[in-house]
Amino acid sequence: MMEQVVDAVAKEILDKLVTAKTGHSLFPAPRAWAFLLEQSLDPEATADLSCHVRVHRPIVAIGAPVTSFIPQVADKLHTQCVIPLHAEWQRSGGDCRRSHSCG
């Protein structure tokens, strides 16, 4: 179950980044692109092909449950994770000056 959450959040982050750059969503993805996306999130899925996606921005996470899955999302996207102190009760606009990195 947690792996499904991690994959869904990772896909959403990728979709937002691609949409911001191109004006087009990743989804619904053609079958071949969906396969490559799955491979990038789970390189162990097949021995025939491996690929990865690297996000060049840190993921800043707020909200109560973020420590349970955002570090795994950051690992899948080969990026840094920043969780502000008291992230469990912060809303957007929280103080990220005092934070810790994860991962």
| 53 half-sphere exposure, CB direction, 13 A CA radius | 22
Is the CA virtual torsion 44, 52, 9, 6 positive or negative? positive
Q: What is the pTM for the complete model shown?
A: 0.78
Mapped onto helix, strand or coil, the DSSP state of residue 59 is strand
pLDDT per residue rounded down to tens, the chain (103 residues): 888 999 999 999 999 999 999 999 989 988 998 888 888 888 777 778 888 889 999 998 887 788 889 999 999 999 999 988 766 665 555 444 444 556 5
Give yes or no for a contact between 20 and 55, defined as CB atoms under 8 angstroms apart: no
Residues with Cβ within 8 Å of residue 4, at least 6 apart in sequence: none
